[in-house]
């Protein structure tokens, strides 16, 4: 799956956790998948990965907004890198 689709699916899945009445276990599973995806895309020491780890904790709307923003920023950066031909984060 392309990076864009993978990140979009993660963002959508995060909102699905919230919209379904919020299951804390489902949120933690989603959080781990999103964190692992970010780590694979930009690395564990990247600012996006660190911000995700620090700001996405409880699973409320605020956390999901932060997560969506971070994931979207990572997607845009990766798309820019592909266009520039760098492939780097």
Q: Is the pLDDT of residue 89 over 50?
A: no
| Structure tokens given for 36 | 């692992």
CB atoms within 10 A of CB 48: 19
Check whether 83 has a pLDDT greater than 90: no
18-65: pLDDT as tens digits: 888 878 888 889 999 999 999 988 899 999 999 999 888 877 778 888
Full-model pTM: 0.80
In the 3-class helix/strand/coil scheme, how is 15-68 assigned residue by residue?
A: HHHHHCCCCHHHHHHHHHHHHHHHHHHHCCCCHHHHHHHHHCCCCCHHHHHHHH
Place of tokens 């804390």: 24
């Amino acid at each position: 799956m392309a990076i864009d689709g993978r990140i979009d699916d993660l963002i959508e899945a995060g909102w699905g956790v919230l919209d379904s009445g919020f299951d804390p276990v489902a949120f933690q599973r989603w959080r781990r998948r999103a964190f692992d995806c970010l780590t694979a895309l930009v690395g564990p020491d990247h600012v996006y990965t660190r911000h995700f780890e620090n700001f996405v904790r409880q699973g409320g709307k605020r956390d999901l907004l932060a997560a969506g923003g971070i994931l979207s920023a990572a997607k845009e950066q990766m798309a820019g890198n592909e266009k520039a031909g760098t492939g780097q984060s």
